Amino acid sequence: MTADASPQPTSPLLPRAARVFVAGHRGLVGSAVARRLAADGHEVVTRGREQLDLRDAARTEAFLCDVRPDAVVLAAARVGGIMANSTSPVQFLEDNLRIQLGVIAGAYAAGVPRLLFLGSSCIYPKLAEQPIREEALLTGPLEPTNEAYAIAKIAGITQVQSYRRQYGAAYISAMPTNLYGPGDNFDLATSHVLPALIRRFHEARESGAPRVVLWGTGTPRREFLHVDDVAAACALLLERYDGDAPVNIGCGEDLPISELASLVREVTDYRGEIAWDTGKPDGTPRKLLDVSRLTGLGFKPAVPLRDGIAATYAWWRSRPTP
Ligand SMILES: NC(=O)C1=CN([C@@H]2O[C@H](COP(=O)(O)OP(=O)(O)OC[C@H]3O[C@@H](n4cnc5c(N)ncnc54)[C@H](OP(=O)(O)O)[C@@H]3O)[C@@H](O)[C@H]2O)C=CC1
Ligand SMILES: C[C@H]1O[C@H](OP(=O)(O)OP(=O)(O)OC[C@H]2O[C@@H](n3cnc4c(=O)[nH]c(N)nc43)[C@H](O)[C@@H]2O)[C@@H](O)[C@@H](O)C1=O
């Protein structure tokens, strides 16, 4: 098995009306993947965290042996923005290692023939050449604000590759860029930037605040992909990709956080100023993914950033208040 993409099969790798266990089905990505797979005619199997804590490897293996799905999508993880990653590296390392160990090993023990593991674009070196090709993995030092999370995700990629190389399992990995959409986390202490900006501008407009203070310098660049697009990419990979190398998932375009802020300010109709708290971390300066491997399989993102932000804002505003 080489590190390059394998030739693509002509027949689907996922049977029609497959039973797919979506781990993390209540999360941003897992919920979108579950919707997409159900719409494609698959049977989606789920378990809430209160029924099955995926850090418990023995219970996870017993569940998978009992259910015996045709495929597993591993979208359960400890996930968060730059501040949560910086302040809780122990949980980001240990929870993710434990979830991955239990789900991937449990799937193989249960004879599950197909598995998709989701990593993240933060696995690549902080100063990787842009756009970042999959081959950049393990070629340089990582971004310190999310090193623990990145190392857990890199271990997941190696675990998946090891099951392929040693046992011939059709297990694959995908590395999404920064994601957003309905179902995102809007808690300002733990969220990613996009929901944080929506909430900050909305609340400033409602309260009449003259300025909104954002983190860092506004100069870092980020690429944003709507969850419906990432779900479409996951479905495509499950059906068409069976290679050793991880596959980047992105839209191929990025923008500075300062421009993103201007866009969100417009969408939320906030008329005040934007200020920057440069005491807060910037994180990696840029992480634009090279998505040629994915587009070569036929992927094309469908949701323009402005439309996606407007839809996410509408979703958040219409949520039931606790
Ligand atoms: N969001 C992003 O910008 C990006 C995400 N990704 C990757 O996509 C995947 C999904 O992320 P996302 O949807 O954003 O994250 P969310 O935090 O929205 O969802 C994570 C899900 O995992 C579940 N989960 C976490 N821990 C456990 C556990 N111990 N046992 C059972 N379930 C658990 C959560 O359950 P509960 O609902 O009970 O909390 C939740 O449903 C992750 O692998 C992440 O690394 C990659 C790149 C960017
Ligand atoms: C998906 C990805 O997500 C994380 O990496 P990140 O892209 O750096 O994360 P972020 O979305 O939190 O920030 C992006 C940029 O935006 C700036 N920023 C401004 N104002 C706010 C703000 O109010 N909140 C947040 N969170 N960021 C803000 C912030 O300072 C930074 O420059 C990792 O978890 C990593 O592990 C990972 O995989």
115 lines ligand 1 (CB under 6 A): no
Q: Is 178 annotated as a binding residue?
A: yes
Ligand 2 site, CB within 6 A: 80-83, 85, 120, 122, 146, 149, 178, 191-193, 196, 214-216, 220, 222, 257, 280-283
CA distance 89 to 87: 6
pTM assigned to the model: 0.96
Q: Is 218 annotated as a binding residue?
A: no
Q: How far is CA 280 from CA 1, 83, 86, 91, 285, in A?
A: 44, 9, 11, 21, 14
Q: Is the backbone of residue 256 left (phi > 0), alpha (psi -120 to 50) or beta? A: beta
Helix/strand/coil for 114: strand
Peptide bond between residue 131 and the one before it cis (omega within 30 degrees of 0)? yes
Report the residue among 86, 142, 215, 259 best suited for mutation to probe ligand 2: largest number of ligand atoms under 8 A from its CB. 215
Q: Is 307 annotated as a binding residue?
A: no
Give the dihedral sign, CA 266/122/303/118: negative
Which tokens belong to 119?
Answer: 């990593």
Q: Which of 229, 238, 85 is nearest to 152 (CA)?
A: 85
Concatenated DSSP letters for 185-196? ---TTT--HHHH
What tens-digit pLDDT sequence spans the chain (322 residues)?
Answer: 334 455 444 457 999 999 999 999 999 999 999 999 999 999 999 999 999 999 999 999 999 999 999 999 999 999 999 999 999 999 999 999 999 999 999 999 999 999 999 999 999 999 999 999 999 999 999 999 999 999 999 999 999 999 999 999 999 999 999 999 999 999 999 999 999 999 999 999 999 999 999 999 999 999 999 999 999 999 999 999 999 999 999 999 999 999 999 999 999 999 999 999 999 999 999 999 999 999 999 999 999 999 999 999 999 999 887 6
Instruction: Give the HSE-up count for residue 288: Cα atoms under 13 Å, Cβ half-sphere.
Output: 12
Atom number of ligand 1 nearest to Cα 117 = 43
Which residues, 6+ apart, have CB-to-CB distance to 88 below 8 Å?
80
Atom 33 (ligand 1) nearest CA: 76
Candidates 124, 149, 270, 313; catalytic one: 149
Is 241 part of the annotated catalytic residue set?
A: no
